Amino acid sequence: MANYKDAAHLASLTKPSEPVFCIRPAAARKAADWFLGAFPGDTFYAVKANPSRWLLQTLFEAGIKKFEVASIAEIRLIRSMFADAEIAFMHPVKAAEAINEAYGQHGVRIFSLDSDAELDKIIRETGAASDLTLCLRHAVPNDDAKISLGRKFGVDGDEAVALLQRMRQAARQLGIAFHVGSQTMSPAAYVRAIDIVEQTIIKAGVIVDVLDVGGGFPAAYPGMTPPPLADYIDAIERRFNAMLVAENCALWCEPGRALSAESSSLIVRVEARKGESLYINDGVYGALFDAGHLNWPFPTRRLGAAAAALDVFELFGPTCDDLDHMPGPFFLPADIAVGDYIEIGVLGAYGVAMRTGFNGFAAYGEAVVEDAPMLTVFETLPMTKAIRGEEANG
Ligand SMILES: Cc1ncc(COP(=O)(O)O)c(C=O)c1O
């Protein structure tokens, strides 16, 4: 893959007519090193955030040997790349065939569930295996998350107590897992969740072998600067160590966003300008799903032209659909024009993974760049206020 100093270098040399992913293996390595060094337990990478082969390979080489997956396709991908990786199949509602293949052909032993029916299915499809790690997906509040994952999965109360007791009979290792929601802005969310699951464990009177605090660790976006990541780890570690039931219990986490967000940005080109609306060559049916559907505030900068006062813009993607609209606000030079290139940063999580190819806009370039990501949670970088979204016109 071609290598460039930064996105501006790439754009000036290649003048791309299609969007180009700028990939930063060094940023992925830094994120992996950070989690492996700081988290007092096992880190599983949540593959759904970004299943790019280069990223999986980079994380694996950096020491992330465990992967959290949602589908049989993700399992096949991980197994095809890493014969010895540990795979946790943590979607609480799985196809019977997927469980069967995961257990029988890919060596998957870790499964999550939130119902009796799913437990019956896992027991049946694994031939009542005696080597399973079964994790109950516990419902917990998602109030501190920018993206709630609290509505669809998870059990609590008496239902969780009864299911945990049943699972204890079927599992070699019994786990309890939760997800506080993606881009969780307060470490207290994890503490509250552990408070809740501890009560369930006490009421069930079972020994738990694994506590899995899930994903939800934040990245930095304009106007969305989270507390230091170390505060999250501290809060989790203290509360975990104070658990009455923690003796001999392993601690796991499943970051997707935090391990991948900083690893990619995207170069797009302005194809038309109408006032403060810019028509660019990628959009919500491409890698910018979150910018449109969730109004996610990605950092932007114009590449290669002289600095100018900033103005506030909205973006439209290349398809013919009205929904292909990213309201922003995006802060870009007031004199931005057709043919200019824009870098959209911190797009490594839930960007590549969301592309549809709708209207035939499916082609992307890819190249390695050597500069630092536009925003980072892994060290303090000198960031301009504009990139942080704190100031327009200046
Ligand atoms: C079970 C599970 N684990 C981990 C993750 C990763 O979450 P995040 O990207 O917020 O870290 C998700 C995201 O949907 C998930 O569903």
CATH number at residue 153: 3.20.20.10
CB 254 near ligand 1, within 6 Å: yes
Same domain? For 255 and 307 the reply is no
CATH number at residue 341: 2.40.37.10
CB 256 near ligand 1, within 6 Å: yes
CB 179 near ligand 1, within 6 Å: yes
CB 260 near ligand 1, within 6 Å: no
* Protein residue closest via CA to atom 5 of ligand 1: 215
Q: Which atom of ligand 1 sits closest to the CA of residue 112?
A: 1
Same domain? For 193 and 266 the reply is no
Cβ atoms within 10 Å of 53's Cβ, excluding its own: 10
Same domain? For 197 and 55 the reply is yes
For the stretch 136-175, pLDDT in tens is 999 999 999 999 988 899 999 999 999 999 999 999 999 9
Q: Which atom of ligand 1 sits closest to the CA of residue 254?
A: 4
For the stretch 252-311, pLDDT in tens is 999 999 999 999 999 999 999 999 999 999 999 999 999 999 999 899 999 987 778 999
Mean of pLDDT values over 208-232 = 96
For the stretch 311-366, pLDDT in tens is 999 999 999 999 999 999 999 999 999 999 999 999 999 999 999 999 999 999 99
Same domain? For 226 and 282 the reply is no
Same domain? For 87 and 194 the reply is yes
For the stretch 21-52, pLDDT in tens is 999 999 999 999 999 999 999 999 999 999 99
Instruction: Report the residue among 55, 149, 186 best suited for mutation to probe ligand 1: largest number of ligand atoms under 8 A from its CB.
Output: 149
Same domain? For 113 and 144 the reply is yes
Pairwise CA distance, residues 133 & 109, whole Å? 6
With tokens 């998602």, the residue in question is 142
CB 149 near ligand 1, within 6 Å: yes
Mean pLDDT of the chain: 94
CB 49 near ligand 1, within 6 Å: yes
Residue 387 pLDDT greater than 90, yes or no? no
CB 46 near ligand 1, within 6 Å: yes
* Domain enclosing residue 272, as ranges: 3-22+262-369
CB 216 near ligand 1, within 6 Å: yes
Asked whether residue 376 is assigned to any structural domain, the reply reads no
CB 214 near ligand 1, within 6 Å: yes
Asked whether residue 52 is assigned to any structural domain, the reply reads yes
Query: Which pLDDT belongs to residue 389?
Result: 58
Tell me, in angstroms, the distance from the centre of ligand 1 to residue 179's CA: 7
Number of compact structural domains in the chain: 2
Tell me, in angstroms, the distance from the centre of ligand 1 to residue 182's CA: 7
Query: Which pLDDT belongs to residue 30?
Result: 96
Asked whether residue 380 is assigned to any structural domain, the reply reads no
Q: Which atom of ligand 1 sits closest to the CA of residue 255?
A: 11
Give helix 96-106 / helix 72-81 axis angle, nearest 10°. 10
For the chain, counts of helices (H) and of strands (E): 11, 19
Same domain? For 336 and 254 the reply is no
Same domain? For 59 and 9 the reply is no
Tell me, in angstroms, the distance from the centre of ligand 1 to residue 354's CA: 15
Same domain? For 252 and 297 the reply is no
- Which among 231, 260, 289 is the end of a domain? 260
* Protein residue closest via CA to atom 15 of ligand 1: 215
Same domain? For 273 and 233 the reply is no
Tell me, in angstroms, the distance from the centre of ligand 1 to residue 307's CA: 38
Q: Which pTM does this prediction carry?
A: 0.94
Torsion angle (degrees, nearest 10) of CA 152, 244, 247, 32 = 50
Q: What percent of the chain has pLDDT over 90?
A: 92
Q: Which atom of ligand 1 sits closest to the CA of residue 216?
A: 10
Same domain? For 139 and 226 the reply is yes
Same domain? For 228 and 91 the reply is yes
Query: Which pLDDT belongs to residue 394?
Result: 36
Instruction: Report the residue among 179, 180, 350 best suited for mutation to probe ligand 1: largest number of ligand atoms under 8 A from its CB.
Output: 179
Query: Which pLDDT belongs to residue 381?
Result: 41
Please list the helix, strand and coil fractions of the chain in percent, rounded to the nearest 5, in that order. Answer: 30, 25, 45
Q: Which atom of ligand 1 sits closest to the CA of residue 147?
A: 10
Pairwise CA distance, residues 62 & 73, whole Å? 23
- When pLDDT is cut at 50, 70 and 90, the band that residue 245 belongs to is confident
Yes or no: say if 251 and 40 are a contact pair by the CB < 8 Å rule.
yes
For the stretch 86-99, pLDDT in tens is 999 999 999 999 99
